[in-house]
Amino acid sequence: MSKQLNIDLLRTFHAVARFQRFNEAANHVHRSASTVTTQIQKLEDLVGQRLFSRSNQGVELTMYGKKLLGETTEFLKSHDRLLASLTPQRMQGKIRLGLPDSYAPDFMQEFLPRLVADNPLLELEVEARSSGELLTLFASRQLDLALIVSAQPLEQGERLGEIQPLWVAAEHFSCPPQAPLPIAVQLTGCPYRAAAIRALKEHGTYYRVLLESASSPAVEACIRSGMAVGLVEESRMGKGLTRQIAGAELPPLPLHHLYLLGDSSNLLALHLYEQVKAGFSV
């Protein structure tokens, strides 16, 4: 008889890969830690490869484990989408969604009213934070869904596209001669901040942080005031900003990736996942 991949084994495998600990994965899939260990052993026996390397700190995916994770992620999502379509329901209950602070205004003004109007019984809680914070909250099961901007490809989640951050300044900005370049950035946890600081250091640009804030509107206001240079996504360039910054030669910035992460074991999260993917653009 030919081998068959069991959905429950795959779901447990994905949970262990996400939490990197058997106990936390067991809580997520509502099984005992010993059962999770047995399921992973069964899956390893089935595929004939070790999927995790184990240590006192937890577990990490082996090279074959990473390969299996990548090749089964869309398969598992397709299975869950089919299951959701066969059991249609009106969105009712509590759901926790996280998104980057810079996306919150558009989400609140454009997408949220339509979502609430179509699903009046939905109890939606929104966290607007840095992508680093959101990734931590999702990993600790404090979020059911999260939009994440990442400088590196993620092993989990669905990649929605690429994002190009740009150096910008107010049209009347002028870099002070013989002085460090003033920059405005968000707090640690924002991938654009990390990319900007790294690029400036590698380029040998003399700079100082004029403003650091958890609020992207505060950072943009500082940029628009003409007091500092900062980063804005190419798709979000507005009037009054320019990429032609007088007196400053700035290094190029790498492309970033936009991911949508969702808890596939939560049917309500799965429904909202599809609505966010189809209806909200950045």
Burial 186-212 (b: 16+ CB within 10 A, else e): bbebbbbbebbeebbeeeeeebeebbb
What is the pLDDT at residue 85? 63
What is the pLDDT at residue 89? 54
Residues 44 and 153 in one domain: no
- Domain hosting 116: range is 93-158+257-279
- Rounded CA-CA distance 241/222 in Å is 12
Residues 152 and 265 in one domain: yes
Provide the residue-wise pLDDT of the chain in tens; the chain has 282 residues.
Answer: 356 778 888 888 988 888 888 888 888 787 888 888 899 999 988 888 899 998 877 888 999 989 898 888 878 877 777 766 665 555 567 889 999 998 888 888 888 888 877 777 888 899 999 999 999 999 888 999 999 999 988 877 888 889 999 999 999 998 877 889 999 999 988 999 999 999 999 999 999 999 999 888 899 999 999 999 999 988 777 788 998 887 778 999 999 999 999 887 777 787 788 778 877 776
Residues 138 and 270 in one domain: yes
Among residues 86, 119, 136, the one where a domain terminates is 86
Residues 153 and 117 in one domain: yes
What is the pLDDT at residue 211? 95
Residue 12's H or E segment, with its range, is: helix 7-19
Burial 237-260 (b: 16+ CB within 10 A, else e): eeeebeeebeebebeebeebbbbb
Residues 52 and 108 in one domain: no
Residues 140 and 271 in one domain: yes
What is the pLDDT at residue 1? 38
- Rounded CA-CA distance 64/72 in Å is 12
pTM for the model: 0.68
Residues 176 and 250 in one domain: yes
CA atoms within 13 A on the CB side of 104: 17
What is the pLDDT at residue 193? 93
CATH number at residue 198: 3.40.190.10
Residues 99 and 223 in one domain: no
The candidate with the shortest Cα–Cα distance to 102, out of 230, 205, 239, 268, is: 230
Other CB atoms within 10 A of residue 85 CB = 11
Identify whether 148 is part of a domain.
yes
Residues 74 and 100 in one domain: no
- Rounded CA-CA distance 20/54 in Å is 9
Number of domains the chain is built from: 3
What is the pLDDT at residue 86? 60
Residues 173 and 203 in one domain: yes
Residues 175 and 58 in one domain: no
Q: Is 30 helix (H, G, I), strand (E, B) or coil?
A: coil
Residues 21 and 78 in one domain: yes
Sheet holding 256-262, edge to edge: 122-129, 93-100, 145-150, 256-262, 158-163
Identify whether 132 is part of a domain.
yes
